Amino acid sequence: MGRLEGKKAIILGAAGAGNMGQVIAKRLRDEGADVLVAGRKEDELKRFAEELGGHYALCDLTNEEEVNALAETATSKMGGVDIAINATGLGFLKPFLENTREELELMSALQLVGPFQFYQAMIKAMKDGGSIIQISSATATIMLNDHAAYMGTKAATDHIIRCIAHEFGDRGIRANSISPGLTRTPMTAGVDQVPGLVESFEARYPLGRIGTSEDIAAAAVFLASDECFMTGENLQVNGGLCLRGNPTRKDQELMMGAVAAAS
């Protein structure tokens, strides 16, 4: 029997082929959960749900009606919600002084308001306790250039997770974040093509490598399981990156020079 046998799980942000949300969904399925994947691309969601033997639903995180409908769909298709994971995000990079109001509003909608309303809907759908998991980022804790809007909204959702843990623990609801560092996903597929970039990050990881989606999925299984006696925490699943911090521009330039000299 799997660690999540009989559990009903929603993973929002699983509409990209091979993305972190899909890797998490597969791992939860393998552990026995009934899984519903959600996002904005119906063709890929339908294909993936069939592969999983699970369910899918269209949901734009920035649309409150669709978020509420997602909870209703999960209840009708699976009989409720035990595990709710928000794996959405937008890797927005732009110099601080160049961020526009429109961009800040977009990042807030995607990474603050939308997640807040997702948590609200999921808590209402949880009848016998449950686990809420936010996929955050190491950069909500440590610095990275040109990333302020992303970092600020991720940090805000981490604190909201703490509020949920505080307010709903008496209902048996746990709420935690997982913070990856640089992780090999389809979204970061191009990093290997930038000379010295991966090497500059790896030098900052005490465990000597950048992360994988499988690392994050393993942590999600623990947080989702009844073995977990943890709430209101942010798991830094990033090989110790937060002990040292992200590389600076100077670090990257030095590493690029070293790679060029060795080639």
- Mind telling me the catalytic residues? 150
CB 9 within 8 A of CB 70: no
**Helix/strand number for the chain, H first, E second:** 10, 9
CB within 8 A of 117, min separation 6: which ones? 64, 67, 68
Q: State how far the Cα of 78 lies from the Cα of 128, in Å rounded to an integer.
A: 14
Lookup: tokens for 241: 């990156």
CB atoms within 10 A of CB 65: 10
CB 97 within 8 A of CB 112: no
